[in-house]
Chains A and B, each alone.
Chain A
Amino acid sequence: MSLGQALREAARRVSSRRGLVAAMAIAQLLFAWIAIRPAAAAAAVLLDDRPGAARLLAGDDGLLGELLGDQRTLAVAGAAGAQVALALSGLLAWLFAGALVILFVGRDDEREAAGAAGVVAAMARAARRSIAIGIAGLAFRLVPLVAAVGLGVAIFADPLGGFDASVAAAVALTVGIGLLWALLTVALDGARALALTRPPEPGAGPPRLARALLGGLGLTFRRRPLAALGIAAISTIATLLFGALDLGLGHLTDGAELLHLAAMLAVELARAFTAAALVVATGLVAVDRRAQGAPATHVSS
């Protein structure tokens, strides 16, 4: 199956479960909203009766510095909220990824019934293996993180002829690290597809997980490197695009709560759809028998 076929097929299948995409998007919005609450509540006591709040909003960073210098708990609460959101979002992303594989990549006879109950059942079925792959994948994630920090320090410790060159290098580094991060995501999604769609083997526990991880890495870097690179590139571009939309639209609409919510929901829906389609496309490529050296038999459309 070519990458184009896989992407089209994935988009078609994911489109059939709009509720699932909406749930993914709303979950992200909820996580972000909840994560901000403790800091926002504390800030209300400090800011709501001060004219300085409007100046802070207008970009007076002196007031921001004074506020954070005096009220360090604000920053701590914000950071803690972000960490919790990140952890919960990551865990839910693993569960959703498992469900997506079960629902859209597995054999026809394994697919769960439609509806929310079917999604929850698929998440439950996939949970153990999907989370195990996610946790194992954290070790792989360290590679781009360490590379990003190391190269970032190197670039700015030795500016490459001034700001322009350094910024260009930093942008290239960001894109490169982002691409590596996305390639690892492809590998882990591929591993997840292999782990969840192959029939269980008697006595196979951790070794099966290891085989799936190796299979995912093999898919990404050996068997279908171009397809993996294509998916990773789409993922990187989508990350940059949706990130820019989050920040840009978020800034433009922050004066009107409903409009802001609508804008953020639209971005999150698009992001969730893209993320789901890429997980499914990766799965389809991973379980494609021809890619594994056998005729394709179980991937049906």
Chain B
Amino acid sequence: MRAMPRSPTALALTLLLATTATHAAAPPALRVPGPLSPRNANYTLTATLDPAAHTVDGEERVTFRNVAAGPARELVLHLYLNAFKNDQTTFYRESKGQHRSARANRHDGWGAIEVTRLVVDGTDLTAALRVDETLATVALPRPLAPGETVTLDVRFRARLPRVFARTGWYGDFFAVAQWFPKLAVFACAPDGADCRWRAHQHHLNSEFFSDFGVYDVTFRAPSRYTVAATGVPVGTEELPGGLRAHRFHAEDVHDFALALAPDFAIVTDRVTDGVGDIDVVLYSVPGHAANRGRHLAAARATLVELGRRLTPYPYARLSIVDVPTGAEGAGGMEYPTLFFTFDSPAPARVWAPEIVTAHELAHQWFYGIVASDEVEEAWLDEGFTEASTDWALRALQGNQPRALVYDLLGHRITYAEGHRLSYRSVATLDPLDLHAYRYATNRDYGAITYGKTLLAFTTLEGLIGAARVEAGMRRYVERARFTHPRRADFVAAFSEGAGEDLSWYWGPILDGVGVVDDAVRSIEVREKRPPEGLFDAPDGGLREAAATHRAPGEKTTWISDVLVERRGAIHLPTELRVVFTDGSERREPWPAEATPAWRRFTFEGPTAVARAELDPDGKITLDTNRWNDGLLARRDPEPRQRLSRRLESLLLALLGAVGL
């Protein structure tokens, strides 16, 4: 359903775009030959920022091709900014005006987006547009058959909220994101059944989902602003009234975001991998100079490591925006080829700045390249990003077996362990494969979607080996890149790459709320003695065997029973290590049998068992209780006493500080 624009607005827009298109040739947006994606939702946007009013007035032309197997009878547009319209929206009611640690400002903080004109293939359908908070629907004059194209010309006004959740303004800083009407994803089952627009209201826990395409964007703003944006900059043009037009071009992306500030300090880096160069541009703010190198180092390590493990970053440019203090609500958010990080004062071996940057950059793979549905299957996005962040941090930290959050003054915690502490507190509340907005709480959503997924991967590394997990993930990315994969696509591709059908593993992990909790229940040690009592004699009658004393020099034989149990519903193969009183040790496998949920290991020998530990190498990071993984045959108070003495020293220092 393609036609020439018939409305004056659409015609003017077409002419304008045709004029600007001749202005400058776009530099390559990709490092590899394209197209990489179906490019079925292409946007040409022209917009102007009014920084005083915090508004963006824009026009867009969207060409949409139906790549699903069935016809589309309507179009659905996301109007995400309406989430900030008032305190009655779905997002606001769920968030109560708070996102992470940032709070909404109720006085001048509201945001909204209004579609003032909608022309579909030349027909003005503005009056037919039905807006329901963050979704706008318009019926098509006739169904859009598979393979057909429709053109939308849209005029809109966006009012940016004071930033507290991903988008908006703070002082003279603007995070211009989710700012234009954007088509949802239309999809069907492979046989053409169950066709629907996979679109949901914008919820507290859900993020964004849309089709791939080419974006050509002209963004006008007062000339004092430096502008960072998705894609590559094409050029600028000075305009009357102190405005400057910034033009950007992006290919094979599914969203477009910008950041503006008058005082960005630009630091550049160039990362070279097997494909070529990537221009990395950090837009930093005053006062954050000290950690710029740390953000760039994290970006470099992540680009190289995930490029090596998964697939090379395909775009020519990566923009990193460090949000100013006070605008942290915009930080920690990813968009194609651009992400918002945030800085924090952390000493060298506390990897807080690096973690944010590595995580948001890892989203370029799981969100950017592999565009799963962040609402219906957030774990495919956030969870896989966390697993990739763990890989990137390991590389950054010198190829550690486990990524660290901090390692300072003799204390440390791994990235997986930090997630385990969050996950274990809500482990039985909700399953992993759940729509993002159906989780009981925001904390539950984060701990399970991010944490449990990461722990599932690190545990699987322990079970089948890191190389096979990497191979499985690489196969999934190869299969799913520039598509919208679902759970079944992942399980099939991952199993294929790993060389084993792993549905036995992913099933209970994804669908259930059962946990892994293996425990050593008891250790019983006894001396082996000859039989005592009455026994049937060979010639009839009873014969009494009396207790005998050991002969001089005869060594005692000890029997040690170690009883282990599985207290959680998920049973994974593991290993028992026992350490004997002479310091020697033995390891015994404990397969993942379903029943019984316990096993008694018996050891007989000249020394008794002193200590027993399940999963001695810490492979099963999903285990919700590490303390009960091990048991001593005899109590040892020394560690606790030493801890007490350390606490006494700490208290003495405190008492002395008050008293002196």
Binding site for B on A (CB under 8 A): 28-29, 31-33, 35-36, 39-40, 43-44, 46-54, 56-63, 65-67, 69-70, 78, 82, 85-86, 89-90, 93, 156-167, 178, 182, 185, 235, 238-239, 242-243, 246-247, 249-251, 253-255, 257, 260, 264, 267-268, 271, 274-275, 278
CA separation between A200 and B161, bound complex, in Å? 68
CB of B640 to closest CB in A, whole Å = 5
CB of B618 to closest CB in A, whole Å = 9
3 tightest Cβ-Cβ pairs between the two chains A and B:
A162-B290, A250-B649, A62-B417
Give A92's nearest chain B residue, CB to CB: B659
Count of chain B residues with Cβ under 8 Å from any Cβ of A?
Answer: 58
Known interface pairs A47-B640, A57-B642, A63-B626. Does A162 touch B288 (Cβ–Cβ under 8 Å)?
yes
* 16 extra interface residue pairs, beta carbon distance < 8 Å, beyond A52-B630, A61-B412, A185-B660: A28-B656, A39-B647, A47-B640, A50-B628, A50-B631, A51-B611, A51-B632, A52-B626, A62-B421, A66-B625, A66-B627, A82-B651, A164-B290, A239-B656, A246-B652, A267-B652
CB of B563 to closest CB in A, whole Å = 14
Known interface pairs A162-B289, A163-B347, A239-B660. Does A62 touch B611 (Cβ–Cβ under 8 Å)?
no
Q: Report whether A160 and B287 are in contact in the complex, using a CB–CB cutoff of 8 Å.
A: yes
Q: Report whether B644 and A249 are in contact in the complex, using a CB–CB cutoff of 8 Å.
A: no
CA separation between A275 and B658, bound complex, in Å? 11
**Residue of A60, A158, A161, A182 touching B660 (CB-CB under 8 A):** A182
Known interface pairs A28-B656, A163-B345. Does A44 touch B626 (Cβ–Cβ under 8 Å)?
no
Q: What residues of chain A lie closer than 8 Å to B628, measured between beta carbons?
A: 50
Known interface pairs A85-B655, A250-B645. Does A47 touch B660 (Cβ–Cβ under 8 Å)?
no
Which residue, A40, A49, A161, has most C-beta atoms of chain B within 10 A? A49
Q: Report whether A50 and B345 are in contact in the complex, using a CB–CB cutoff of 8 Å.
A: no
Q: What residues of chain A lie closer than 8 Å to B413, measured between beta carbons?
A: 60-62, 65
Give B343's nearest chain A residue, CB to CB: A159
Known interface pairs A85-B651, A260-B645. Does A50 touch B630 (Cβ–Cβ under 8 Å)?
yes
Known interface pairs A63-B627, A161-B288. Does A82 touch B654 (Cβ–Cβ under 8 Å)?
yes
CA separation between A182 and B421, bound complex, in Å? 41
CA separation between A9 and B4, bound complex, in Å? 101
Give B632's nearest chain A residue, CB to CB: A49
Q: Report whether A247 and B630 are in contact in the complex, using a CB–CB cutoff of 8 Å.
A: no
Q: Report whether A165 and B290 are in contact in the complex, using a CB–CB cutoff of 8 Å.
A: yes
Q: What residues of chain A lie closer than 8 Å to B421, measured between beta carbons?
A: 62, 65-66, 69
Known interface pairs A59-B412, A156-B345. Does A275 touch B659 (Cβ–Cβ under 8 Å)?
yes
Give B413's nearest chain A residue, CB to CB: A61
Q: Report whether A242 and B626 are in contact in the complex, using a CB–CB cutoff of 8 Å.
A: no
18 contacts between A and B (CB under 8 A): A35-B651, A44-B637, A52-B630, A53-B643, A59-B412, A60-B413, A63-B627, A65-B413, A66-B627, A67-B627, A82-B654, A85-B651, A89-B658, A90-B659, A158-B287, A167-B345, A246-B656, A250-B650
**Residue of A29, A53, A163 touching B291 (CB-CB under 8 A):** A163
Give B410's nearest chain A residue, CB to CB: A59
CB of B359 to closest CB in A, whole Å = 20
Known interface pairs A158-B325, A251-B649. Does A56 touch B658 (Cβ–Cβ under 8 Å)?
no
CB of B454 to closest CB in A, whole Å = 14
CA separation between A56 and B424, bound complex, in Å? 18
Give B647's nearest chain A residue, CB to CB: A36
CB of B298 to closest CB in A, whole Å = 15
Answer whether residue B11 sits at the interface, using C-beta atoms and an 8 A cutoff: no
Q: What residues of chain B lie closer than 8 Å to A267, measured between beta carbons?
A: 652
Answer whether residue B653 sits at the interface, using C-beta atoms and an 8 A cutoff: yes
CA separation between A36 and B646, bound complex, in Å? 10
CA separation between A60 and B411, bound complex, in Å? 6
Known interface pairs A28-B652, A47-B639, A69-B421. Does A257 touch B645 (Cβ–Cβ under 8 Å)?
yes
Q: What residues of chain B lie closer than 8 Å to A165, measured between beta carbons?
A: 290
Answer whether residue B550 sits at the interface, using C-beta atoms and an 8 A cutoff: no
CB of A244 to closest CB in B, whole Å = 8
Q: What residues of chain B lie closer than 8 Å to A161, measured between beta carbons?
A: 287-290
Q: Report whether B630 and A62 are in contact in the complex, using a CB–CB cutoff of 8 Å.
A: no
Known interface pairs A32-B648, A44-B640, A250-B645. Does A89 touch B655 (Cβ–Cβ under 8 Å)?
yes
Q: What residues of chain A lie closer than 8 Å to B291, measured between beta carbons?
A: 162-163
Known interface pairs A59-B410, A69-B421. Does A271 touch B660 (Cβ–Cβ under 8 Å)?
yes
Q: Report whether B635 and A255 are in contact in the complex, using a CB–CB cutoff of 8 Å.
A: no
CA separation between A59 and B420, bound complex, in Å? 17
Answer whether residue B425 sits at the interface, using C-beta atoms and an 8 A cutoff: yes
CA separation between A178 and B660, bound complex, in Å? 10
Q: Report whether A268 and B345 are in contact in the complex, using a CB–CB cutoff of 8 Å.
A: no
Give B350's nearest chain A residue, CB to CB: A163
Q: What residues of chain B lie closer than 8 Å to A275, measured between beta carbons?
A: 659-660
CA separation between A23 and B10, bound complex, in Å? 91
Answer whether residue B595 sits at the interface, using C-beta atoms and an 8 A cutoff: no
